[in-house]
Structure 1
Amino acid sequence: MVVMLTRIRKQVKRIIEPLAETLAGANIRANYITVLGLIFAIIYFLEIMSYNIILGIIFLIISALMDAIDGEVARVSNTVSPFGSFLDSTLDRVEDILYISAFIFLGFSSYLVAIAVGLSLVISYIRAKAESLGLKMEGRGIIERGERIIFVLIILLVYVIVNKIVSVYIFYIFLMLTAITVIQRFYVVYSLLRK
């Protein structure tokens, strides 16, 4: 499954790079794209809440695409800024909450969904704190944010195409891998700080 997620991620990157260059050429600012990502995430949440799962999936993909593009647009247009980085990171956390907590409306255990949200935020916090201490954390852990979003998408697609039971089992795998990633990142930081 992890190999499949890596392949998907590489394919998405091939789409993103030319799209980001086009948007940068049209003078569309990265921060606007970041905010659009949040707006689409809210629409996704509302659609799942209303049980419009197909529409929810569409808005999830658009939101994730905005999130993937904004940083690339900033780099291509040479407009990377501390505020842009702060805005992107902050709105990413809000989007993470929306993406995962929407599962409650599909009948998933609210306790396990809450744990998944919490673990997801802890993964991001560990990276932010570690990088503030000068440690490199990108690529550390079995599933980073991109993979977690892909997992959310897969769970929703399986829910629609197969059935709820299978999607719940995939959610359990997602939850387990998220917990493992927290442990991995904590151990990496612990090891590096002890040196």
Structure 2
Amino acid sequence: MWEWLNTNAGAVQAVAAGVSAFVAWKLVALTRRYVDLTGILAESAKQQVEIAKLQAQTAKDIHEATRRQQKLVEDAKAQAERQLSSMAAKYLAALAGLSSQTIAPSALQALPRISTQDLDTFSQAAIQANVKPDDADAAASGLSWLAGLQERVAVSQNSQQFSQAETTMYSKTVRNVRESLRKLTNFRPASEEY
């Protein structure tokens, strides 16, 4: 075999050179493919980093929007609490001159007009302020009843005669409205009739 290799040394070298060239070409092709795949992986990693940055920014924006929304809700609640307290104080002051024992038509006529719109505003402020519904509802219901009595006295031409049931209802209503309004404000009138 050595003899054959020595005799055909040129051919063997040519074949070896051809195989070497083929292997080198295959190695270059594989290296090129490896470089391409590495480039694709690098681009994919870069895109993942960009997506992660976008997700982080989106999460930050959502957090900031949530915080702003919470602040708006808190501000709206605080404003509603102030409005409710102010309205409760106004009604307490107005009711200070009413006796809770007997119906005095002149005192009812002297009260500021309690309008449906005022009662709606009062109820909406109570809802936004998230106060105990029983207190706000009791105050609004009692004020509505007093508004009806106030209207009845205003349209009456002659002196009013009130039944015992109306007088009892009036007494309970005035006391309940005052009690409910006191729970909604820190204001206390200088003097109240009982």
Greater relative contact order (CA < 8 Å, ≥ 6 in sequence):
2
Higher CA-based Rg = 2
TM-score, length basis structure 2: 0.29
TM-score, length basis structure 1: 0.29
Give the number of the structure whose residues are more often helix, by fraction: 1
